[in-house]
């Protein structure tokens, strides 16, 4: 086994989690890391010219990102012409960067009892609402401002304890512990200030992005939990943070992508999608053409035609990474009898007979083979047969780009809480597995017969 440096991996993970209150920031942080490592940013609206041996990335809506490298391919010399360069297929890792939260409505100020100023918000995704109560919150996202040339997006994070959604005292809601139905419009509006400060939040945001309030045309602003990531447990076994689903997999994926040794003939692709929590059906979500468009443009830029593209898809493999449910200490019987993962016991392969998860025997076996090579533990998740599970982006993305796909994740507790728990070891395991994924080429010798080189 490796000597895993769990501490360093968790420190890096925490830096990423704390700096990524939502998808816009996750994408910006990863883009900055890629630029620092010499990657070139491509624009979907401009022509692409790719050079052998170089790394690239492209973003869509500032909230989804795809990064890839053009490896040496099978050319003997680095300056080989495009026509000589032949590639085998794509090794793809896909995950998501959005998490459930509350989004500010366009007219976000509401005065209550002529004394309080509240923010009018609506749900984004399916959060456990009660976990957002009684904890310091703030606002982050993007602001679209009017400039002399047109309109321009600017990211903003009001980096201070700004808001709170106070619980109702038990004296005024005696039945709260008997099961309470939270109402998003009545119960979940954060307290922002007194009625005397109307317009202040807009002023604060305008100042933060360096414009006059009148120049703000529109916003995508979300609440986020201010509590930073931490380690807990008598032997420091656990990590906790907001947004572990799915920033833990997003982080492990790009760290593994950056650290992987090159597979000579396959193109490593790291794919970070927005909007998984609301069904993936946006222009930048997993159901969109973003991945397909990107792969086709890579293929064309390498001077290849349609047949080469289809051959490449047959020789491609996708790891769809989204966190899974570990056995819960107070609800052990919610998990399957013997297909149930635990924290710190490795990467979870997810199965579902109705293909909510895409894993089949071939994809499962290929992934197990990679993990064996990486010397990392794997475990298994099935839902109880009498329980409906969630779905993820693997099967959705497969409608646009049909490649062999395994659905995996890291085991966690309290999924979609404002503060989730996972294991201290599992992120490092996934980093190692991703390194092996990207340093391997898959070749489909025939349907049902595959080699991993």
Applying CB under 5 A, the residues found at the interface with Zn ion are 245-246, 322
Task: Count CB neighbours of 75 within 10 A.
Answer: 17
Closer residue to Zn ion, CB minimum distance, 246 or 444:
246
Which helix or strand (DSSP H or E) is residue 374 part of? helix 361-374
Q: Of 322 and 407, which CB lies nearer to Zn ion in the complex structure?
A: 322
CA gap 42, 56 in Å, rounded: 7
Q: How far is the CB of 99 from Zn ion (least distance, A)?
A: 8
What angle do the packed helices 244-259 and 426-438 form, to 10 degrees? 40
Residue 245 or 407: the one with the smaller Cβ distance to Zn ion is 245
190 vs 253 by CB, closer to Zn ion: 253
Give the shortest CB-322-to-Zn ion separation in angstroms: 4
For the CB of residue 408, give the shortest distance to Zn ion in the complex, in Å. Answer: 12
Kind and range of the H or E run holding 165: none
**Residue 27 beta carbon to Zn ion: minimum distance, rounded to whole angstroms:** 16
CB 295 to Zn ion: min, Å: 23
Closest distance between Zn ion and the C-beta of residue 390, in Å? 8
Closer to Zn ion at the Cβ: 220 or 407? Answer: 407
| Minimum CB distance to Zn ion smaller for 109 or for 276 | 276
CA distance 355 to 395: 7
Crossing angle of helices 426-438 and 361-374, in 10° steps, is 100
Degrees (nearest 5) of the Cα angle 417, 418, 419?
Answer: 85
CB 409 within 8 A of CB 367: no
Longest Cα pair distance anywhere in the chain, in angstroms? 77
- Pick between residue 189 and residue 410 the one whose CB is nearest to Zn ion: 410
Alpha-carbon torsion (156, 160, 162, 163), positive or negative: positive
Signed CA dihedral, 383, 339, 236, 374: sign only = negative
Nearest approach, Cβ of 77 to Zn ion (angstroms)?
A: 44
Q: What secondary structure does DSSP assign to 302-359, as a single string?
A: TT--HHHHHHHHHT-EEEEE--EEPPBTTBGGGS-SS----TTS-EEEE--TTSSS--
Q: Of the two residues 50 and 240, which places its CB atom closer to Zn ion in the complex? A: 240
CA distances from 408 to 284, 353, 394 (A): 22, 15, 9
Residue 275 C-beta: closest distance to Zn ion, Å: 11
């Amino acid at each position: 086994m490796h000597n895993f440096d769990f501490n360093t991996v968790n420190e890096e993970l925490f830096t990423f989690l704390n700096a990524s209150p939502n998808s816009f920031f996750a994408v910006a942080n990863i883009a900055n890391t890629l630029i620092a490592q010499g990657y070139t940013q491509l624009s979907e609206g401009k022509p692409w010219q790719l050079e052998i041996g170089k790394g690239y990335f492209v973003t869509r809506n500032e909230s989804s990102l795809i990064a890839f490298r053009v490896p040496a391919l099978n050319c003997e010399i680095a300056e080989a012409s495009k026509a000589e360069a032949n590639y085998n297929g794509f090794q793809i890792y896909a995950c998501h960067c959005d998490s459930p939260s509350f989004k500010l409505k366009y007219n976000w100020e509401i005065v209550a009892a002529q004394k309080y100023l509240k923010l009018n918000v609506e749900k984004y995704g399916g959060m456990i609402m009660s976990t957002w109560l009684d904890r310091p919150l703030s606002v982050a996202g993007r602001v679209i401002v009017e400039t002399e040339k047109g309109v321009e997006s600017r990211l903003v994070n009001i980096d201070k304890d700004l808001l709170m959604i106070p619980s109702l005292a038990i004296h005024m809601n005696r039945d709260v512990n008997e099961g309470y139905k939270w109402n998003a419009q009545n119960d979940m509006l954060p307290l922002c200030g007194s009625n005397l400060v109307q317009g202040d939040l807009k002023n604060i945001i305008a100042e933060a992005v360096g414009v006059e309030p009148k120049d703000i045309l529109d916003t995508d602003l979300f609440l986020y939990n201010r509590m930073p990531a931490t380690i807990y447990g008598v032997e420091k076994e656990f990590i906790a943070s907001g947004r572990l689903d799915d920033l833990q997999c997003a982080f492990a994926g790009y760290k593994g992508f950056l650290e992987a040794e090159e597979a000579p003939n396959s193109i490593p692709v790291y794919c970070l999608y927005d909007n998984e929590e609301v069904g993936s059906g946006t222009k930048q979500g997993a159901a969109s053409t973003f991945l397909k468009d990107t792969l086709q443009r890579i293929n064309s830029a390498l001077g290849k035609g349609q047949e080469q593209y289809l051959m490449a898809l047959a020789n491609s493999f996708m790891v769809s990474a989204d966190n899974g449910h570990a056995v819960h200490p107070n609800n052990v019987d919610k998990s399957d009898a013997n297909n149930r993962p635990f924290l710190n016991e490795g990467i979870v392969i997810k199965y579902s007979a109705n293909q909510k998860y895409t894993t089949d025997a071939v994809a499962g076996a290929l992934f197990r083979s990679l993990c064996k090579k990486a010397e990392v533990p794997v475990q298994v998740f099935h839902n109880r047969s009498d329980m409906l599970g969630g779905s993820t982006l693997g099967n959705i993305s497969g409608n646009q780009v049909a490649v062999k796909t395994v659905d995996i994740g890291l085991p966690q507790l309290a999924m979609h809480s404002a503060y989730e728990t996972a294991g201290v070891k599992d992120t490092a395991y996934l980093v190692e597995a991703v390194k092996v994924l990207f340093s391997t080429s898959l070749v489909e010798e025939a349907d049902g017969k595959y080699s991993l080189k």
